[in-house]
Amino acid sequence: MARQLGYLRVLVVCVVASIIATTQAQLQLGFYANSCPNAEKIVSEFVNEHIHNAPSLAAALIRMHFHDCFVRGCDGSVLLNKTNNQAEKNAPPNLTVRGFDFIERIKSLVEAACPGVVSCADILTLAARDSIVATGGPSWQVPTGRRDGLVSNLSEASSNIPSPFDNFTTLQTKFNRVGLDLNDLVILSGAHTIGVSHCSSVRNRLYNFTGKLDQDPALDSEYAQNLKKFKCKSINDSTTLIEMDPGSRKTFDLGYYNQVVKRRGLFTSDSQLLANSVTKSLVNQLLQGSLQNFYAQFAKSMEKMGRINVKTGTQGEIRKQCALVNS
């Protein structure tokens, strides 16, 4: 009996490993080399032509990619519209996501060249990478072959996307749920080195942290006072823009981690990187290392994230328009 159970366990492990290997094998570099040989070139050329007119889109696109992958995997479901406004893009974490039209414009160019071949999921993944490279950041490999999902659900987005208000336990749970670990949490948080947020993401830390009109003690008091004086001047301010990495928000560097160790990370989620000994140590290791070391680790984690629960083969579909499932 014990031997039979042992065989069963081995069989289960082998089957799971086979499923994972099969899924990953179906993503491959140059997947469209024969079916749409200019696909990746079309994406990169459009990004390079337009991103310099709106460099903040680089941060927006990587955020969109991140939010897409945490809900049903990297399947372009964040791009979908629904007539009842119950799609992922209608969920609170996605209300400030930008770049939908940018992706749709790329899709139209790719469709003109190769109708019904290249998925919106792949276009988003490629555009996120290309926009970071175009603005001076790291590059990473993007194996392609993703297919587009058919479902987009507001409640799933609300419950699965890591939030700026999350504590460490919640962040760890959400990352573990999609196969990412604490190292990925620290590395991917480094994307906060570029871009901006709104006062709505930090106002409670400044004015009402525990519901007693108090300030978050984990936030550097001098930084908090500056934010109150020059940026978020009242708890009602939800629209003023704030740099996530003050002074270098356009440069993909280690500045974000310097802010974190000074207790000047903008979000509660940023401060939580110091709340755990493992993540705190990882932050300090990054600061002691080179920029190229950060770039290499960032590339590895982005490649890993880009494989989360992807749909391949005959799963899903290849949408004609990114905002709509095919009729």
Contacts of 136 (CB under 8 A, 6+ apart): 251, 252
Helix residue spans in 51-150 (DSSP H): 57-69, 100-113, 120-134
Contacts of 24 (CB under 8 A, 6+ apart): 307
Hey, is 269 helix, strand or coil? helix
- Is residue 67 among the annotated active site residues? yes
Cα–Cα distance measured from residue 144 to residue 29, given in angstroms and rounded to the nearest whole number: 6
Cα–Cα distance measured from residue 80 to residue 62, given in angstroms and rounded to the nearest whole number: 17
Short-list 29, 61, 106, 102, CA closest to 307: 29
Name the catalytic one among 65, 67, 192, 198: 67
DSSP states of 41-71: HHHHHHHHHHGGGSTTHHHHHHHHHHHHHTT
Residue pair 131/149 in contact (Cβ under 8 Å)? The answer is no
The token duo for 92 is 């609170």
Short-list 310, 322, 324, CA closest to 109: 322
Hey, is 174 helix, strand or coil? helix
Contacts of 293 (CB under 8 A, 6+ apart): 286
Cα–Cα distance measured from residue 322 to residue 86, given in angstroms and rounded to the nearest whole number: 16
Cα–Cα distance measured from residue 35 to residue 206, given in angstroms and rounded to the nearest whole number: 53
Cα–Cα distance measured from residue 166 to residue 88, given in angstroms and rounded to the nearest whole number: 19
Catalytic site positions: 67
